[in-house]
Amino acid sequence: MRHLFISLVLLMLCSGYAHAAIESYEFQNEEQRDRYQQLTEELRCPKCQNQNLADSDSQIAADLRRELHQQLLDGKSDEAIVDFMRDRYGDFVLYKPRIQGNTLLLWLGPVALLLVVALLLWRSRPPVTEGKGAAKHDATSHVIAHEKNVLPARFVHLVSLLALLLVAAGSLMLYQHIGSLQAMQITELGQAVFARQLPPEQQLQQEEMLLAELDEWLANHPDDDRFVYMRARLLSEAGIWDRAASDYRHLVSLFPEQDNILAEYAQVLFLQNNRTMTPDALAFLKQALQVNPHNVSALGLLGMAAFEQKDYRTAVDFWQRLLQVIPPGTPQAGAIAEGISRAREMGGLSAGPVVETDIRLGAQVSIAAAVQAQPDETVFVLLRAVNGPRMPLAAVKTTVAALAQPVVLDTASSPMRGQLDLAAVESFEVVARLSRSGQPMPAAGDWEGISPPFTRASVPEMLSLSVERAIGP
């Protein structure tokens, strides 16, 4: 039974869910989620061939998605976020470049070519002859002879116009589909393989084809980390541990701060060594948790390692943290809950007392006179982590007039409860924001105040906070 449970956990860790959980970002409202989706589709991955940020598996795209999410939480406008991306990566990051000095040729070039051809056609029209009587009769033979030359010239210009139209259309298509055809085919094949919606026989065939395509591409483009990562995942899921470890070793050297790569590499080392936790694997897992305390693979594997060493209390601690990260009601959550129960049973651990992670405190918020606040204006009071996810751990929406009474912040009643690992948060702060628009996202013209940080051991029963800092554009 014990080995059956471990197999269930390994299945969870090796499944596509573990990869998807890396970027299960939380948003403060649906509008913010829609903006994130739209921006990731409009911005191009700087290292990819015709892929936007939403579709790319490259590490630079993952970095930019994380940066984009953070800037949205910080209240940045779409224009400010796009300008940030352009400052770092230039106009290439935009699928639709802006009209400016260095892009005028791109936008106006085809139009200018068409105008030139139209002018040539107009100039090559047959001359209009005017005259009377004998003068007109004398010119007839000249016009007939001239038309023999005009007609071929007109035909040439018409062909030229059609050619230019084809060139313009072709250029536009190339601009939209720039890059290697082979790279695009590999990307599409990879999306189909990792979706795992094919029949078993076809799935295996497609995996073998994808591996062959990746090997061929990386033989000529060894520095394409996007496809190195794709191959590492494919080799890992196929159980080809030696090659997978080699690819992950290369990726870790390039991206030592990417928690998902660190954890996945540790997982490969664990499985490569007959499910034995090596010192290297243990070090990578701890490093991954330092970067991201909510990493699914790291929490699961560290709990498993403790379970194997009969350190059942530590296993329970890691798996309880894991349960707060993964969605309740899923098979993975059920397997982890079963593991916690079995670890308690085998370690002789009681079901309690449960370590209390929830926080409750009061905040007395005042508004500085310079704000010139109206009694019915909206105020948001938030509890959040000083370092880590910026979404609120608890939030209260109130009015200026209601601030005569203290605001109570309680994580136990927060909508984010169960989605964030409170046990992993070391320090907290309270933010009070007067919103001129009545919306939770900070904007120019709003005012806010931020409390000094405090730890779980020093949570005040009541803190005082003044809203006195203007939020600029």
Q: What is the mean pLDDT of each run of 10 residues along the chain (473 residues)?
A: 51 45 59 84 69 69 77 82 74 58 53 65 57 50 50 56 58 48 75 76 87 90 86 90 93 87 91 88 90 84 88 89 71 78 86 62 93 92 80 87 91 63 78 89 88 89 92 79
Q: Please enumerate in sequence order all residues whose Cβ is within 8 A of that of 136, keeping only pairs 6 or more positions apart, or say none.
A: 129
Q: Report the distance separating Cα 124 and Cα 156, nearest Å.
A: 10
In a domain, 204, yes or no: no
Q: Give the contacts of 221 (CB within 8 A, at least 6 positions apart).
A: 227
Give the pLDDT score at 334: 74
| Residue count of the chain | 473
pTM of the model: 0.51
Identify the pLDDT of residue 423. Answer: 67
Which pLDDT belongs to residue 65?
A: 81
Structural contact between residues 171 and 154, judged by C-beta atoms closer than 8 angstroms: no
Strands 427-435 and 462-467 turn out to be unpaired
Specify if 47 maps to a domain. Answer: no
For residue 77, being part of any structural domain is answered with no
CA–CA separation, 326 vs 329, rounded Å?
9
Distance CA 178, CA 155 (A): 33
Which residue segment(s) compose the domain that 169 sits in? 101-131+139-176
**pLDDT value for 19:** 44
Residue 431, in any domain of the structure: yes
pLDDT of residue 385: 85
- Report yes or no on 282 lying in a domain: no
Q: Could you tell me if residue 414 is inside a domain?
A: yes
Can you give the pLDDT at residue 17?
41
Q: By CB neighbour count within 10 A (0-12 exposed, 13-18 middle, 19+ buried), where does 181 fall? A: exposed
Q: How many domains is the chain partitioned into structurally?
A: 2
Q: Is residue 83 part of a domain?
A: no
Beta carbons of 28 and 391 less than 8 angstroms apart: yes
> Is residue 339 in a domain?
no
Please state, in angstroms and rounded to a whole number, the distance separating the CA atoms of residues 334 and 9: 10
